[in-house]
Amino acid sequence: MNKLKITMFGEFSISYGENTISEHSKRSKKLWLLLQYLVVHHTRSVTQSELIDILSGEDEGVNPTSALKTQVHRLRDILSELKHPLPIIVCVNSAYCINPEIELEIDSEIFEQNFKTASACENDSEKLKLILETVNLYTGEFLAKSAYESWVVPLNTYYRSVYRKAVKVGIQLLYASAKLHDIIAICSKATVLDPYNEYVHYSHIRALAELGEQESAKKQYEIVTDLMMNKFGITPSKELMELYDSTIKTKKSVQSDIDVVIHDLMEQRPVAGAFFCEYQIFKHLYQLEIRDSQRTGISINICLLTVDGAGGEMPSQNSMSKAMQRLQDCISRSLRGSDIFSRYSVSQFVIMLANTNEQTGDLIMKRIEKAFRRENTNKDIELRYIFKTTRRNDY
């Protein structure tokens, strides 16, 4: 058999029998680009001018046709390490191609064909089998190390789109069969390969919750909340927040020993400083305090702290991420254990202060601001805050 096995997802590699070469080896990037382009277009011959355009950037004064021939010669030397009986790259009418006499087994083509076959399949059991095979073939971005090449970008986008569709179909079929553990498995892999797919996060959290693993579901929600906030500066969708609300209503067995209940309510690892919580929990706590204020007459004090760039320019993502982490630490250390705060947006924290008037609250904010200035020496970062006293009948 003369079959070559080629991996396009993740790290590019090509194998014949027990011999393998991959872009992991320290070879010229142009050589790998040349080989990858020929593999992608293996059904036709590629003209020299087309390859020269792909490998553009040669030193001035170098004949591009001569340079291409040199690259092809070097690539053939590398491919000789596979010890294939036939020449892998051939020249036909001054154009280059992968030898049509060699059978190619390319993971991306199998992936695409499997999905098409699965989409046309009417038997759910067979369809699920094909979908899971499809999903397992996707081990990373298409030609990941060349992902920013202009000719790779649309292909990478296409295969990621197919992967997303396959994962969604797989999850739906698994739900129909009540295979929650399998859903968690497929979602766990998908959140690594496609971390910004909210449908996958939703399905992951839902499956964990339905299995009674509320703590794991809440942890997963916190992960996706931080991810969306830090990457895009957005909060999770309404659907995901509603799902989260249902996961915090944990199911408990009937318990007659109140000491067991109290032990469950207590913090397992008491932490010094203010209480930091997810924003949905912050909202619930604020609403409880507002209700109580109608009876006690005590006002609720809210402060919004905003990290901004000098002159109103938004800082870089990296600078913002570091500044927000430092600000979170400063808030936690500067407040009392009875105070509550949460991340409100990509650049803001919201704080609820207990038993504090406006004058005292302003002093607390200045203390946080001073601590932040000490921790964050970047002069391009500014901190602003707004303090407001609220009552139940204000809104």
Close Cβ partners of 372 (under 8 Å, ≥ 6 residues apart): 326, 327, 330, 383
| Domain count within the chain | 3
Q: Please identify, among 91, 106, 121, the residue that sits at the C-terminal boundary of a domain.
A: 106
**Share above pLDDT 90 across residues of the chain, in percent, rounded to a whole number:** 52
33 with 152, same domain: the answer is no
243 with 365, same domain: the answer is no
Average pLDDT over residues 104-131: 96
94: region left, alpha or beta (phi > 0 left; psi from -120 to 50 alpha): left
Size (the chain), residues: 395
Tell me the CA distances in angstroms from 139 to 10, 117, 133, 159, 329, one per residue in order.
6, 20, 12, 11, 37
Locus of tokens 């990509």: 346
CB 208 within 8 A of CB 246: no
Closest CA to 37 of 9, 67, 8, 69: 8
42 with 93, same domain: the answer is yes
Closest CA to 208 of 195, 193, 222, 197: 222
DSSP 8-state assignment for residue 164: H
58 with 162, same domain: the answer is no
On the question of pLDDT at 392 being above 60, the answer is: no
CATH no. for residue 77? 1.10.10.10
243 with 280, same domain: the answer is no
70 in a domain, yes or no? yes
On the question of pLDDT at 7 being above 60, the answer is: yes
209 with 313, same domain: the answer is no
3-state secondary structure of 5: strand
pLDDT reported for residue 222: 84
Close Cβ partners of 59 (under 8 Å, ≥ 6 residues apart): none
pLDDT reported for residue 190: 95
- Structural tokens at position 325: 């982490």
267 in a domain, yes or no? no
121 with 238, same domain: the answer is yes
Q: Please identify, among 106, 126, 155, the residue that sits at the C-terminal boundary of a domain.
A: 106
pLDDT band at 379 (very low <50, low <70, confident <90, very high): confident
Closest CA to 36 of 8, 11, 55: 8
3-state secondary structure of 58: coil
Cα dihedral sign, 104-107-113-114: positive
46 in a domain, yes or no? yes
CATH no. for residue 357? 3.30.70.270
pLDDT reported for residue 2: 83
pLDDT band at 109 (very low <50, low <70, confident <90, very high): very high
259 in a domain, yes or no? no
337 with 384, same domain: the answer is yes
DSSP per-residue codes, 9-31: BSS-EEEETTEEEETTSS--HHH
252 in a domain, yes or no? no
Segments forming the whole domain that contains residue 61: 4-106
Rounded Cα–Cα distance for residues 273 and 285 (Å): 17
214 with 293, same domain: the answer is no
Least confident of 25-34, 103-112, 244-253: 244-253
116 with 223, same domain: the answer is yes
For the chain, the average pLDDT equals 86
**153: Cα within 13 Å, side-chain hemisphere:** 4
Least confident of 44-48, 70-74, 115-119, 232-236: 232-236
pLDDT digits 0-9 by tens, 226-241: 887 777 767 778 888 8
Burial degree of 286 (CB within 10 A; 0-12, 13-18, 19+): middle
Q: How far does Cα 316 stand from its chain's mean position?
A: 19
Which contacts qualify for 218-225: CB closer than 8 Å, 24 or more apart? 218/244, 218/247, 218/248, 218/278, 221/247, 221/278, 222/278, 224/198, 225/278, 225/279, 225/343
b/e code 14-50 from CB counts within 10 Å (16+ = b)? bbbeeeebebeeeeeebbbbbbbbbbbbbeebbebee
101 with 120, same domain: the answer is no
CATH no. for residue 171? 1.25.40.10
Closest CA to 276 of 348, 337, 221, 233: 337
255 in a domain, yes or no? no
Average pLDDT over residues 31-43: 95
Q: Please identify, among 51, 75, 106, the residue that sits at the C-terminal boundary of a domain.
A: 106
Burial degree of 101 (CB within 10 A; 0-12, 13-18, 19+): exposed
pLDDT reported for residue 280: 79
- Structural tokens at position 180: 């929650």
